[in-house]
A and B are shown apart, each in its own frame.
Chain A
Amino acid sequence: MRVIASEEISNAVKNLIINSSVNLPEDTYKSLQMASEKEISESGKTVLNQLLLNAGIAKTELKPLCQDTGLAVFFVEIGKDVAIADKNLTDAINDGTRMGYSEGFLRKSTCDPISRKNIGDNTPAIIHYDITNGDKIKIMYAAKGGGSENMSRLKMMRPSDGKEGVIDFVLETMKEAGPNPCPPNIVGVGIGGNFERSAIIAKKALFRKLGQINNDFELAEMENIIFEKINNIGTGPMGFGGICTVLGVHIIKEPCHIASFPVAVNIECHSHRHSEIII
């Protein structure tokens, strides 16, 4: 059994958080560049160019890309042959989150849902665990902003609604969202599982790199159809009108109950901050 000091985990988490806040991932930057070349709306093009400029400033001046530095969301894969010394993994990740948001001068956005009082250190992080083989720990992090999260939806559809039903639901969600979730967006779709699993896999789908094609041919085809339909809505960058409303549609599916057809749509903003580390 391999043993890792909890401090190593916390420090890695801290660094992931601070680096992500100022460095737009390469896939997102490239995707925005491609969008700015393709966009036919003048104001849409201006927005995209400003976003590229913003990414440059954030990187050189180490200033957060967006003031909403998010809730800290983690997908963690833990090998069965690794253990953490002195602390449990959840505490180690929360320690790293606390340090990252404090030392990185990032915004603390967690609050009590009823009193709305700020927690003050951006904990608790939202953490999803999977057990895998081996003796490594893979930590995937996303800074998930509230604006795009608020426009996300989940629907328990009927099995008879089929693929077309899913496509319509995603499209309806994006039409309703309009300018609110900071388009151009990335859309994560979770099909199947149950009520909570559909939402979790929709979030996980956002972690796939932009431009990477879905291994499942049928899902890849659905992604293409939805991608075109969303870009035909006309919302455009920041909703000022245009043909670049979405940068990518990513679908994950899982088996579900014979009576159910859960579909979750998790919207991500263009400030698509995601990164990972293997320890």
Chain B
Amino acid sequence: MKAIKITTPLTENIILNLKTGDEVLISGTIYTARDQAHYRLVKLLEENKPLPFDLEGQIIYYVGPTPEKPGEIIGSAGPTTSYRMDKYAPLLMEKGLKGMIGKGKRSVDVKESIKKYKALYFGAIGGAGALISKAIKSNKVIAYEDLLSEAVRRLTVEDFPAIVVNDVYGGDLYEDGRRKYENKYNNIK
């Protein structure tokens, strides 16, 4: 399958045209946040305080990279497991977030919010941090430096490889994929 090139911020047109299983190459600006950064972002929203970046149309990448060596743009930077952000994701989508990149299953609540607020959940390849880092062209910590790897970073990416897991139509790649290959191992023996 040929990958579809998309650029951020994500427009409704881009989102509605993408379906579960579509391979994409993402270019533009994306933001990083994982456990503790999500906790702080949601706390700010609950207190009606401004966020360190505007969520409108943006993608958050669930990643905590290794420290960059001198001369490197970023260290190893693959996705972390997404369900830990499930508690926070619906509110972020309500406030304008349009995309999330991570790995692993999402909760019913998150999948419902993806449909309701017209957003996308992309899967990246976990454990391919060295390879994925090649798609990252700039990296700047913009908030929560004290969180070390968990700080919020603004990244510029070029052809960042991902696959649509959950789309606005209720599709779920993990469910489809598993069903398709259930009990198929016996056949090849």
On A, residues with C-beta under 8 Å from B are 38, 40-44, 47, 50-51, 53-54, 57-58, 61, 63-69, 105-109, 116, 118, 120, 146-147, 150, 178-182, 228, 231-236, 238-243, 269-271
| Distance A66 CA – B147 CA, assembled complex (angstroms) | 19
Partner of A239 from the list B75, B178, B182, B184 (CB cut-off 8 Å) is: B178
| Distance A270 CA – B78 CA, assembled complex (angstroms) | 13
On B, residues with C-beta under 8 Å from A are 1, 21, 35-36, 39, 63-69, 72, 75-78, 80-81, 83, 103-105, 123, 125-131, 133-134, 147-150, 161, 163, 173-174, 176-186, 188-189
A24 nearest CB across to chain B (Å): 10
User: Are B177 and A116 within 8 A (Cβ)?
Assistant: no
Query: Which of A53, A66, A270 gathers most chain B CB within 10 Å?
Result: A66
User: Are A41 and B181 within 8 A (Cβ)?
Assistant: yes
| Distance A179 CA – B80 CA, assembled complex (angstroms) | 12
B120 nearest CB across to chain A (Å): 16
| Distance A271 CA – B63 CA, assembled complex (angstroms) | 16
| Distance A130 CA – B161 CA, assembled complex (angstroms) | 45
| Distance A68 CA – B64 CA, assembled complex (angstroms) | 8
- A271 neighbours in B (Cβ, 8 Å): 127
User: Are A107 and B64 within 8 A (Cβ)?
Assistant: yes
Write 25 A-B pairs (CB below 8 A) sorted by A numbering. A54-B127, A63-B133, A64-B75, A64-B76, A64-B129, A65-B127, A66-B78, A67-B76, A67-B77, A107-B149, A118-B148, A118-B150, A178-B104, A178-B105, A178-B178, A179-B104, A180-B81, A232-B184, A233-B182, A234-B182, A234-B184, A235-B178, A236-B177, A239-B173, A241-B176
